[in-house]
Structure 1
Amino acid sequence: MMARAVWVIARREVRTRLRARSFLVGTAVSVVVLVAFVLVQTSLFARHTDTRVGLSGQATAVAEPLRDEARSRGLAVSTSTVRDPAEGAAQVADGDLDALVTGAPGTLRVLVRDSVDENLRGALNTLVQKEVLRGLLATLDDGASPDDLLATMSDATVDVHALAAPDPTGDQRLVVALVLVVLLYMSLLLHGTMVAQGVVEEKSSRVVEILLAAVRPWQLLLGKVVGLGLVGLAQLAVIGAAGLVLAATAGALTIPAAAAGTLLWGLFWYVLGYLFYAAVFAAAGSLVSRQEETQAVLLPVTSVLVLTFVLAFGLLTRSPTGTGTAVLSLLPPFAPILMPARLALGTAPAWQVLLAAALLLAAVAALAWLGGRVYTGAILRTDGRVRVRDALRAGSRPS
């Protein structure tokens, strides 16, 4: 009987949302925007021009010539001095540096994570050859022939070492990860807000009083959360699948199989993330009686989502394998967005995925209990904004 009541409420929410013209139009527009985003991001990464280079030892002498030579090739290089080569290698591994250059100006060595930018390689080769040329010019008077000089010059190239095998799909996977971040952020924010607005609407119109005459508060809350969650899941699946097919057809996506796997992971983490945030959105919505007050009461929750979105973009593009990225992806407020993005990049080990899921499930259980108490204690209060403390106290009383 209890499960049937929850399902009836959930089905009502699903039917109401799916029949809304705004839902259908919004879904279609989202698909178009998604494909455009993929095309733009793919183009931007194809023209990646921001390269961070660390210089250690004698190589610091080539800082300015390197920037000038790279600029002439259309590549913007920012240089920094690294005192300890081991520290520089760690920064390359973590993604804080794109390359570490060591050695004397005539015998430069460059360390990269998987592959070196060809414009950077060309700029370094030019610097090495210029330095070698200076030394060879001094030997011309000793009988060295021009042919010997040219042969030596052709062999003067920068020595490249990679920490890992080159990844030709790296940029594509990063684009997929960023697209997933956008989708999850928008979906969690949109449908979480819908939960809160639905609660406020029913409360302000006194419809909730009629509903609570037939069902218990937790059944009403669960039915609303489940119904809107199913709508959000379906919309995310449709947008993701349609965007994937269109992007692959347009040639903007060359790893459709990996992208499909990423979408499935995204749906899984969406469910966990939605359950985490929906309980908070519903509880927050029950504290007010007018739609005008909704934005203010939701500000703390939406701020966390916005912060997660901003951090995800910054960390994934600048330090995808960094310690900070890994730690934040384990924490429940950030895990629903950061962890699936790390999975898309292939940088999340299995134990971190399991730990993040376990922590998020525990947080979902705790927030469901806490949010349920707030909702129960505040949903029938229409005498202005309810304080959380009062709602918790009222919600703990036996009904």
Structure 2
Amino acid sequence: MALVARRELRTRLRTRSFVISTAVSLIVLAGFVLAQSTVFDGDRITTVGLNGQANAIADAVTDAAGLDYQVRTVEVTDLTQARDQVADGSLDVLVSGAPAELTVLTRGDLDPDLHNVLNGIVQRQVLAGLLASVEDLDANAVLGTVSGSHVRVSTLDTDDPNHDQRLALALVMVALLYVSLLLHGSMVAQGVVEEKSSRVVELLLATVRPWHLLSGKVVGLGLVGLIQLATVGLVGLALALLTGVLTIPGAAAGTLAWGVLWYLLGYLLYATVFATAGSLVSRQEDVQAVLMPVTAVLVAAFVLGFAVLSGNPAGPTATVLSLLPPLSPILMPGRIALAAVPLWQVGLAVLFTVVAVVALARLGGVVYRNAVLHTGPRLRLRDTLR
């Protein structure tokens, strides 16, 4: 088995198709990340509403250094209406109160740079007040008072402020897993048919058992897919973090790690089925027809993944679907990326998938052994099990 796996690994890594597909994947992913970075770093304008005495800081906010976006200030008189504007996105930030005691309201997390600017304004106002009111200053007391002065921040949303980034991670991982499983699973089936049609399999079976030949082919092509997925994932992750498109490195690295695990489980599941299906035919013209049912399941998992993750990834529908072995390799890593799944569900999904892999491997071994030397018309599955 190891000999066959090494042969498949060396052969596939040197093929032009592997190099081209990897390069295209990297270019597409890099283009997507850079496009997102351009959008985020473009002419971004943050609208800050100032109420009452807070209008005195308008110039200090708009002229602040260290912000990589424009700030536009507007005067608001009705706090209730202003809160509604924050809720619907018309205002990004609402600032009220005296300059030395500013209160900030946002819908989500306050931008760290703007937070620092507002803290600096508060501290300068506190310092100015102390200098104006006291002649004999205690330097330590002044420093303590100033450094302890901060803007008070409250948010309207109680949801995860990083939800959008997590959703993007989940959807990208679902897409990568779908493409990898479909591509390398199909390669297993095509490899089986190529060996049958060229009679190479007869020579191989003279020295290798059918089960070892099948296992070696699955493992070898699986390693090719793993190398490609890891390469694309690591490059994409590095670009996203360097350009600031992603600001949650821990969650991003965890998503990639879980993606690799579920790729391995999903590949073993689907590659076994693809190889079994491929052994039923002897001509390349018949491959697509025999693979159609398996491909349809993968497509369904991909479509359901986008629908479920964009909707309610923690709901009962998502929970049930992600526990089904044919769907788990696509849905479960997406739910994990969104932090919408308890650990026991992950463990249960892994267990179910492993059991399914073992059962399908046993079935596939029987079918492959009985069908791999068959030439001519397409075999029916039940005929290979007799």
Residue 382 in structure 1 maps to residue 353 in structure 2? no
Query: Aligned runs of 1:292-303 on 2, under 5 Å?
Result: 292-303=285-296
Task: Report the equivalent of 1:10.
Answer: 5
**Deviation for aligned residue 1:117:** 4.6
Of residues 214, 227, 232 in structure 1, which corresponds to 2:207?
214
Contact 1:177–1:341 under 8 Å retained in 2? yes
**Deviation for aligned residue 1:12:** 0.3
Rounded Cα–Cα distance in structure 1 between residues aligned with 2:171 and 2:27? 16
Cα 1:383/1:186, change in 2 over 3 Å: same
Of residues 19, 33, 37 in structure 2, which corresponds to 1:24?
19
Rounded Cα–Cα distance in structure 1 between residues aligned with 2:308 and 2:236? 24
Rounded Cα–Cα distance in structure 1 between residues aligned with 2:326 and 2:37? 29
Q: What SS is found at the alignment partner of 2:232?
A: helix
**Deviation for aligned residue 1:161:** 7.2
Task: Report the equivalent of 1:238.
Answer: 231
Of residues 275, 281, 305 in structure 1, which corresponds to 2:268?
275
Contact 1:180–1:266 under 8 Å retained in 2? yes
Contact 2:322–2:349 under 8 Å retained in 1? yes
Task: Report the equivalent of 2:316.
Answer: 323
- The residue type paired with residue 206 of structure 1 is R
Q: What SS is found at the alignment partner of 1:374?
A: helix
Rounded Cα–Cα distance in structure 2 between residues aligned with 1:21 and 1:369? 34
**Deviation for aligned residue 1:257:** 2.5
1:129-171, Cα deviation, whole Å (9 max, x unpaired): xxxxxxxxxxxxxxxxxxxxxxxxxxxxxxx976xx3322110
- The residue type paired with residue 29 of structure 2 is L
Residue 262 in structure 1 maps to residue 251 in structure 2? no
Where do 5+ consecutive residues of structure 1 fail to align?
1-5, 47-105, 123-159, 394-399
1:208-240, Cα deviation, whole Å (9 max, x unpaired): 000001011001000000100111111100010
Task: Report the equivalent of 2:297.
Answer: 304
Identical pairs, percent = 63
Query: Aligned runs of 1:128-207 on 2, under 5 Å?
Result: 165-207=158-200
Rounded Cα–Cα distance in structure 2 between residues aligned with 1:352 and 1:9? 36
Task: Report the equivalent of 2:28.
Answer: 33
TM-score by length of 1: 0.67
Rounded Cα–Cα distance in structure 2 between residues aligned with 1:41 and 1:347? 25
**Deviation for aligned residue 1:32:** 1.7
Rounded Cα–Cα distance in structure 1 between residues aligned with 2:91 and 2:34? 25
Contact 2:37–2:243 under 8 Å retained in 1? no
**Deviation for aligned residue 1:255:** 1.7
Query: Aligned runs of 1:30-69 on 2, under 5 Å?
Result: 30-38=25-33
1:155-194, Cα deviation, whole Å (9 max, x unpaired): xxxxx976xx332211001001000001000000000000
Task: Report the equivalent of 1:251.
Answer: 244
Contact 2:4–2:217 under 8 Å retained in 1? yes
Of residues 354, 357, 367 in structure 2, which corresponds to 1:361?
354
Bigger mean CA deviation after superposition, 16-25 or 211-220:
16-25
Give the CA RMSD over aligned residues. Answer: 2.5
- The residue type paired with residue 169 of structure 2 is V
Cα 1:296/1:118, change in 2 over 3 Å: same
Contact 1:41–1:175 under 8 Å retained in 2? no
Contact 1:38–1:179 under 8 Å retained in 2? no
**Deviation for aligned residue 1:285:** 0.3
- The residue type paired with residue 8 of structure 1 is L
Task: Report the equivalent of 2:124.
Answer: none
**Deviation for aligned residue 1:250:** 2.4
**Deviation for aligned residue 1:384:** 1.3
Where do 5+ consecutive residues of structure 2 fail to align?
42-79, 94-154
TM-score by length of 2: 0.69
Rounded Cα–Cα distance in structure 2 between residues aligned with 1:292 and 1:268? 33
Of residues 341, 344, 347 in structure 1, which corresponds to 2:340?
347
Q: What SS is found at the alignment partner of 1:312?
A: helix
Structure with higher Rg: it is 2
Cα 1:384/1:42, change in 2 over 3 Å: farther
Contact 1:279–1:371 under 8 Å retained in 2? yes
Task: Report the equivalent of 1:225.
Answer: 218
**Deviation for aligned residue 1:36:** 3.3
- The residue type paired with residue 318 of structure 2 is T
Task: Report the equivalent of 2:68.
Answer: none
**Deviation for aligned residue 1:283:** 0.4
- The residue type paired with residue 180 of structure 1 is M
Rounded Cα–Cα distance in structure 1 between residues aligned with 2:4 and 2:360? 21
